[in-house]
Amino acid sequence: MCLSLEKAPPEKKPLTLAEVRAFIHERWAKDQSVLARDQKRLFEYLSKFVKVRDADACRKAVEQLIEEIGLSEEDAVMIVNIMPKSKDELRPMLFRSYPLLDAKSYDRILEILKSLEKGEEK
């Protein structure tokens, strides 16, 4: 019997920009003066470019895309981060991995993204 003292590698999970923003803001928002230059740049980037700020809603949208459409988690996160507005924007992102997606699937993806965006406006 051989016991290994090595730690298992941490689980890697794709995160939406909103989830990263929530994580970063929770830790760094209190005192930005002590942040390194790269940390400040990341903080500013996330503050400017996150399209939907509700991390929980973004995660729910990712789960919907996985369950209803059959996207991989990585692809679902990419779609939620980019938030395409039309089939013309969406199709190039998915066509290579999902060439058999039908028009209904593209419509449903856009519905999920629109509901995510509308939830943000409230």
pLDDT (0 to 100) of residue 122 = 52
| pTM listed for this prediction | 0.84
Q: Which residues contact 39 (CB under 8 A, 6 or more apart)?
A: 28
In 3-state terms, what secondary structure has residue 16?
coil
One-letter amino acid at 121 equals: E
- Furthest-apart CA atoms within the chain: distance in Å: 59
Q: Which residues contact 113 (CB under 8 A, 6 or more apart)?
A: 61, 79, 80, 83, 84, 85
Distances (CA, A) of 80 to 37, 50, 67: 28, 10, 14
Which H or E run includes 11? none
pLDDT (0 to 100) of residue 121 = 60
pLDDT (0 to 100) of residue 17 = 95
Ranges in the chain, pLDDT < 50: none
Is residue 34 within 8 A of residue 70, CB to CB? The reply is no
